[in-house]
A and B are shown apart, each in its own frame.
Chain A
Amino acid sequence: MSIATHDTPGAHSHDDHAHGGHHEIGFVRKYIFSTDHKVIGIQFLITTMLMLMVGGALALGVRWQLAFPWQWMPIAGDLEVFQQQGGIISPEFYTMLFTMHATVMIFLVIIPVLAGAFGNFLIPLQIGADDMAFPTLNMLSYWFMWPAIFCFGISFVIGGVTAGPAAGWTSYPVLSAIISAAPGSGPAQTFWLLAVTFVGVSSMMGSVNYMTTIINMRAPGMTLFRMPMTIWGMFITAILQAFALPVLTAAGFMVLFDRTMGTCFFVPAGLVVNNADPTIGGGQPLLWQHLFWFYSHPAVYIMLLPAMGMVSDILCTFARKPLFGYKPMVYSMSAIAGLGFIVWGHHMFTSGMNPALGMTFMVSTMMIALPSAVKTFNWIGTLWGGHLHFTTPMLNAIAFVSMFIVGGLSGIFMAAVPVDLYIHDTYFIVAHFHYVLFGATLFGVFGAIHFWFPKMFGRMMNDTVGKIHFVLTFIGFNGTFFTMHLLGVAGMPRRLADPYNYPYLEHLLPMNQFMTYSALLMGFAQFLLLGNFFYSMFWGPKCGRNPWHANGLEWDAPSPPPHGNFESIPIVYRGPYEYSSPETDKDYLPQTEYISPRPAPAPSTA
């Protein structure tokens, strides 16, 4: 059933050769302040996996309040800091919980795990380079995550549990721009904005590096259209980041100035906030929404495209088939990126911007569903007629496709402005973006972790534990999030500490309790992933270079690849998806394998 093969004696001698070329470096330079893209990638991966648990715990806090409002919190309720509020979740704390859940998951998990962890690890290996173009910059991009983690962390504890960043991850002014609007969260919100800036700097360093590396450092024969989809995903993501991120960084500084220096970029005149003196103002809160979503909508694709690429690789490998429609896949990814810049207004359909703009954004938003549809059809086409191997990475990749269909289709409801007038800011949208960001991206990431783990550590993860983790996560995920669509149709708004205040929502409590149990299941399942990951890192069975019989260049390097990756510069002869090719007896054909052309019949000399 599994096509994983273990150690072949030949693989070791190659490893030793590769090590021989480099002089030894100390522990600190090798594992902590390393400039090796693989170490940096693994650092990013482990950091983001731990952050995933933090973000998940915050989400469980939110779920607790929705299922058992104003009841004593298990575990955390006993802590000293919660004693003043009787061990329950106060409305202030609830606001912080969902703000920080989104913040941690977006800025410290999904963006860095895709671009930081897999981007770093895979780009040089898959294009046949020995490292990134700028290794030191690469190291800095990881270490700039830590000031961000520190600032987010301190913003969470600085004022006690009732005073944290409380303006949502979207941080709409005036709530985020005037300190008196959210009493107590003064320094916390400021640290939050600083942290977003640090994450931005980290991403930008990565983005510059990825673009340069992919453009300049491809191995001989690795033309653009021979690159694996993962590399296309990372490349387009890097471009998106480079163009969108400066807007967010600038806007973040503007709010920071509004908070600390009395500027009025986003604050109009004459507001009486919480009985403070009227504002002098002259600013416009809608400006923030435009700037924020000009980054944050492309950011949705930053959080998706690399996963789309990785899933394409995994599906081909375990279907033993070439990718269905390689070029349409590349073009549709580019179309998503291009259209991604002109759809940001769909987050603002109810904001009071000009309705003519709303109509324009509606059409562009509908159109962005098209390349996503094309990609989905091509993934199904890839599986069509394949010889499927249901390994853990494959199951997660199939789940990606299955969940992405739901996330894509539910997006159409929001793109339609009149329907959005009803479902905007309800749980329908919470369901939608969790189907995209968790159902698609995170399942893609789970698949990628299991798929490239052998390359990272030279050992296999346990397949049975991987499958149990997958099944539990899948069931817990759908139990939690599919039901959210129905809550949304029933009109339950998001971000309410106690929705049952409203008589028309009272009957939704049992449904919310079911969702919380599902979320708990999903949360506990992640310990299986962590356990499997760290156990296999040291005690998993050893594997050879190419345990999955895959085609990519990374499988040509030793597992784990030494500093410098390849023994000799690989030469690329074909695209990455030539599985089951009639040119060879095996059912795979690595990109580096040279096949001598069949001798042409000798011309007759009559």
Chain B
Amino acid sequence: MRKFWCLFFMFWPVLAIWLCWVSPANGWWFPSIAPWELGQQIDDLFYLLLIITTVVFIGTQFALGYVLWKGSDVKPGRAWFSHGSHNLEVIWTILPAIILLFISLYQMDVLARIRVMSKFPEQASRDPIAEVTARQFEWRIRYPAPGKKLLAQPQPDDLYTVNDLHVPVGQPVMIRLRSDDVQHSFGLPHLRLMQDAVPGLVIPVWFRSNAVGKFEIVCKELCGWGHYKMQGELTVELEEDYEAYLKALQEKMNDDGYPADAENAVAQSDEE
């Protein structure tokens, strides 16, 4: 029975590692490959941490299993009368300290490129592509009219959609993120990105997708009873498709319900 407990405590880490090992094949892993370089760098950092923590996990669990196994023998005499070891304390303080410091400094660059405004790609920060306003429970998107710039104040010719954000492929784009009511969070899990939409603040968020396709926009901060259905869609498309989309949107918004030739007919009849 004593050995049983040792095996019990040694068995579960093995099971845990096996589970992590088979997870990617079963879909219990990243939803897809991140379609841009910073997303991939975030994944790389994740894998770096995963390697470090797995080594430490195996090491400590193995050490625990070993001391349990040794200590479970019924042997004559006493337990080892020891109050510790100064040298060991020094080693196992300094070594993790170096590793942890390395990890935190190693993350800085990616963090700065994602978050520090002066490091944003110039093209993106000069011309924000859209303003995304979160409200219970939808994403409202405001584009500038084609050929114009997005201004802080809404303009009469601005274009609006709900839950449907389109961006051109391969270009760095920046959105201005706001909230109209409570706090929300703009999450793009496929791009490994997330930014809270805080009431009262306008927060710039930049990203790029090098692959065309549709990605989910997820609200990741509890915003009320309908939080679970606050779902948007990011469409990444070719530059010309994107321009055509905006043009179509503009036409749709300016449409007053009458076909163009019918309007002309009315005008002609007036002249007569």
Question: Are chains A and B native binding partners rather than an unrelated pairing?
Answer: yes
Binding site for B on A (CB under 8 A): 1, 91-92, 95, 166-168, 172-175, 178, 181-182, 267-269, 271-274, 281, 283-286, 319-326, 328, 350-352, 355-356, 358-359, 362-363, 365-367, 369-370, 373-374, 376-378, 380-381, 383-388, 390, 395, 398-399, 401-402, 405-406, 409-410, 412-413, 415-419, 421-422, 424-426, 471, 474, 478, 482-483, 485-487, 489-491, 493, 495-499, 501-504, 507-508, 511, 579-582, 587
Interface membership of B157, Cβ < 8 A: no
Please name 4 further chain A to chain B contacts, defined as beta carbons within 8 Å, in addition to the given A168-B222, A422-B192, sorted by A numbering.
A167-B222, A172-B183, A398-B9, A402-B9
Interface string of B34-61 (1 = CB under 8 A from A): 0000000110011001001100110011
What chain A residues lie within 8 Å of B64 (beta carbons)?
380, 383, 398, 401-402, 405
Q: How far is the CB of A181 from chain B (nearest CB, A)?
A: 5
Interface membership of B70, Cβ < 8 A: yes
Interface membership of B63, Cβ < 8 A: yes
Interface string of B215-231 (1 = CB under 8 A from A): 01010111111111101
From B71, B88, B222, contact of A387 by CB (8 A)? B71
Interchain CB contact under 8 A, B193 and A421: yes
CA distance A406 to B1 in the complex (A): 26
Q: Which of A352, A377, A425, A497 has the most CB of B within 10 A?
A: A352
Interchain CB contact under 8 A, B79 and A172: no
Task: Tell whether A380 pairs with B195 under 8 Å between CB atoms, given A416-B45, A487-B28, A581-B81.
Answer: no
Interchain CB contact under 8 A, B46 and A175: no
Q: How far is the CB of A534 from chain B (nearest CB, A)?
A: 27
**Looking across the interface, which residue of chain B has its beta carbon closest to that of A505?**
B31
What chain A residues lie within 8 Å of B199 (beta carbons)?
174, 267-268, 271, 285
Interchain CB contact under 8 A, A503 and B216: yes
Interface members, chain B 1-46 (any A CB < 8 Å): 1-2, 5, 8-9, 12-13, 16, 19-20, 23, 27-32, 41-42, 45-46
What chain A residues lie within 8 Å of B179 (beta carbons)?
271
From A175, A320, A355, A502, contact of B216 by CB (8 A)? A502
Interchain CB contact under 8 A, A373 and B96: yes
What chain A residues lie within 8 Å of B45 (beta carbons)?
416, 418-419
What chain A residues lie within 8 Å of B223 (beta carbons)?
175
**Looking across the interface, which residue of chain A has its beta carbon closest to that of B76?**
A387
Interface members, chain B 71-121 (any A CB < 8 Å): 71-72, 75, 78-85, 88-89, 92-93, 96-97, 100-101, 103-105, 107-108, 110-112, 114-116
Q: How far is the CB of A475 from chain B (nearest CB, A)?
A: 9
CA distance A365 to B104 in the complex (A): 9
What chain B residues lie within 8 Å of A498 (beta carbons)?
228-229
What chain A residues lie within 8 Å of B235 (beta carbons)?
none
Task: Tell whether A490 pairs with B49 under 8 Å between CB atoms, given A377-B92, A405-B57.
Answer: no
**Looking across the interface, which residue of chain A has its beta carbon closest to that of B107?**
A416
Q: For this complex, into which size category does the number of interface residues on chain B fall?
A: 35 or more
Interface membership of B124, Cβ < 8 A: no
Interchain CB contact under 8 A, B42 and A421: yes
Q: How far is the CB of B129 from chain A (nearest CB, A)?
A: 19
Interface string of B197-221 (1 = CB under 8 A from A): 0111101000000000000101011
CA distance A362 to B49 in the complex (A): 14
Interchain CB contact under 8 A, A175 and B224: yes
From A271, A322, A495, contact of B83 by CB (8 A)? A322
Interchain CB contact under 8 A, A1 and B1: yes
Interchain CB contact under 8 A, A351 and B198: yes
CA distance A167 to B199 in the complex (A): 16
Q: How far is the CB of A188 from chain B (nearest CB, A)?
A: 13
What chain B residues lie within 8 Å of A373 (beta carbons)?
92, 96
CA distance A581 to B78 in the complex (A): 9
**Looking across the interface, which residue of chain B has its beta carbon closest to that of A497?**
B228
Q: How far is the CB of A602 from chain B (nearest CB, A)?
A: 29
CA distance A388 to B61 in the complex (A): 17
Interchain CB contact under 8 A, A350 and B84: no
**Looking across the interface, which residue of chain B has its beta carbon closest to that of A416?**
B107
Binding site for A on B (CB under 8 A): 1-2, 5, 8-9, 12-13, 16, 19-20, 23, 27-32, 41-42, 45-46, 49, 52-53, 56-57, 60-61, 63-64, 67-68, 70-72, 75, 78-85, 88-89, 92-93, 96-97, 100-101, 103-105, 107-108, 110-112, 114-116, 135-136, 179-183, 185, 187, 189-190, 192-196, 198-201, 203, 216, 218, 220-229, 231
From A91, A417, A581, contact of B107 by CB (8 A)? A417
What chain A residues lie within 8 Å of B52 (beta carbons)?
412
CA distance A580 to B79 in the complex (A): 6
Interchain CB contact under 8 A, B79 and A493: no
Interchain CB contact under 8 A, A285 and B198: yes
**Looking across the interface, which residue of chain B has its beta carbon closest to that of A170?**
B222
CA distance A330 to B188 in the complex (A): 43
Task: Tell whether A370 pairs with B100 under 8 Å between CB atoms, given A377-B92, A386-B71.
Answer: yes
Interchain CB contact under 8 A, B100 and A366: yes
What chain B residues lie within 8 Å of A355 (beta carbons)?
111-112, 115-116
What chain A residues lie within 8 Å of B89 (beta carbons)?
325, 328, 374, 378
**Looking across the interface, which residue of chain A has its beta carbon closest to that of B184?**
A175
Interchain CB contact under 8 A, A486 and B194: no
**Looking across the interface, which residue of chain A has its beta carbon closest to that of B39?**
A422
Interchain CB contact under 8 A, B225 and A92: yes
Interchain CB contact under 8 A, B107 and A418: yes
Interchain CB contact under 8 A, A395 and B182: no
Task: Tell whether A286 pairs with B222 under 8 Å between CB atoms, given A362-B107, A385-B70, A491-B189.
Answer: no
Interchain CB contact under 8 A, B227 and A352: no
9 A-B pairs closest in CB distance:
A268-B200, A385-B80, A325-B84, A491-B189, A355-B115, A388-B71, A486-B28, A580-B78, A497-B228
From A385, A415, A471, A491, contact of B104 by CB (8 A)? A415
CA distance A390 to B64 in the complex (A): 14
Interchain CB contact under 8 A, A322 and B28: no
**Looking across the interface, which residue of chain A has its beta carbon closest to that of B83?**
A322
